[in-house]
Amino acid sequence: MFEIIRIPAFKDNYIWLLRKGASAVVVDPGDARPVLEVLERDGLSLTAILVTHHHADHQGGVANLLAHYPAQVFGPAMESITAITQPLRGGETICLESLGVDFQVLAVPGHTSGHLAYYGSGVLFCGDTLFAAGCGRVFEGTPAQMHASLSRLAALPDQTAVYCAHEYTEANLRFALTVEPGNRLLRQRVDEVAVARAKGWATVPSALVLEKATNPFLRCSEPEIVASAQSRVAQTSGALAVFTVLREWKNGF
């Protein structure tokens, strides 16, 4: 198995570095500098870069990393990202030989139209699609696409470790609690996250089973959440309509 190292970047991004022996693979390097520091500190050589989508905070460091290491670059074929050597559309299985692992590539459009997630060995790298206790904004796709993408991720095994790209958990939980105040597990998570953040700890990764129990965007059929959506938009019915109301609501929350 490989080890996963969290590299904080910018204000609230996480870049994930996967290492085995002296080899490293990095996911969504928005900034090269902190990645180069870890590679040099630990004497690692970068063999591959996985990109989930084209936003600068996820791929802005690729060119600079390639100036130091001849790495393969996996990323969405549909988006304009220079330097991709292995364009992907979802449905592929990619083999990261240096880590001895295969990842499934999942198309998860919504935040952007080509957004990809990578899943293997019980870990999921989902960029800005699924967040701890929340989900990404729908910038390029439709609410229906985002809802379908989240449903696809929610169908992965319960124990999947969810490595998203931002530390947004505390703010997401404030919204979640507004939408579903009667959820006991959610209240417990709010308390745990408050303690963790007060100590400066990260709240990512989370477990998919916890997301399914507390993330409102994965719970659009729960009666309390449906009722909350209906308090915003009367007669909202159906999971997609509820999701659409929640996403709009959260945008202005």
Interface positions with Zn ion (CB under 5 A): 55, 128
Q: Closer to Fe ion at the Cβ: 112 or 228?
A: 112
Report if residue 140 touches Fe ion, rule: CB under 5 A: no
**Nearest distance, CB of residue 2 and Fe ion, angstroms:** 23
79 binds, among Fe ion, Zn ion, none (CB under 5 to 8 A by kind): none
- The verdict on 57 binding Fe ion (CB under 5 A) reads yes
Each residue 17-56 as x (binds Fe ion by CB under 5 A) or -, in order, gives ----------------------------------------
Instruction: Evaluate whether 210 touches 130 at the Cβ level (below 8 Å).
Output: no
Query: Reduced to 3 DSSP states, what percent helix, strand and coil does the chain have, rounded to the nearest 5?
Result: 35, 25, 40
State yes or no: is 57 an active-site residue: yes
**What is the C-alpha to C-alpha distance for residues 250 and 197, in angstroms, rounded to an integer?**
21
Using an 8 Å Cβ cutoff, are 156 and 124 in contact? yes
Is position 128 annotated as part of the catalytic site?
yes
Catalytic residue among 28, 31, 53, 54: 53
Which residue lies nearer to Zn ion by CB, 140 or 180?
140
* Catalytic residue, candidates 31, 57, 115, 147: 57
119 strand-pairing partners: 104, 124
Residue among 54, 111, 115, 147 flagged as catalytic: 111
28, 31, 54, 55: the active-site residue: 55
| Minimum distance from residue 90 beta carbon to Zn ion (Å) | 17
Tokens of 7: 């590299």
**DSSP E strand boundaries for the chain:** 3-9, 13-20, 23-27, 45-50, 72-76, 86-88, 93-96, 101-107, 116-120, 123-127, 130-131, 134-135, 161-164, 206-207
8 bridge partner residues: 14
Is the Cα torsion angle 132, 173, 247, 239 positive or negative in sign? positive
Q: Considering beta carbons, is residue 69 or 139 the nearer one to Fe ion?
A: 139
By the 10 Å C-beta count (0-12 exposed, 13-18 middle, 19+ buried), 30 is classed as buried
C-alpha distance from residue 207 to each of 15, 20, 124, 154, 178 (Å): 18, 23, 10, 11, 22
Residue 147 among the catalytic residues: no
Q: How far is the CB of 111 from Zn ion (least distance, A)?
A: 6
| Residue span 101-130 as binding mask against Fe ion, x where in contact by CB under 5 A, dash where not | ---------------------------x--
Partner touching 31 among Zn ion, Fe ion, none, CB below 5 to 8 Å by kind: none
Q: Tell me the catalytic residues.
A: 53, 55, 57-58, 111, 128, 166
Which residues contact Fe ion (rule: CB under 5 A)?
Answer: 57, 128
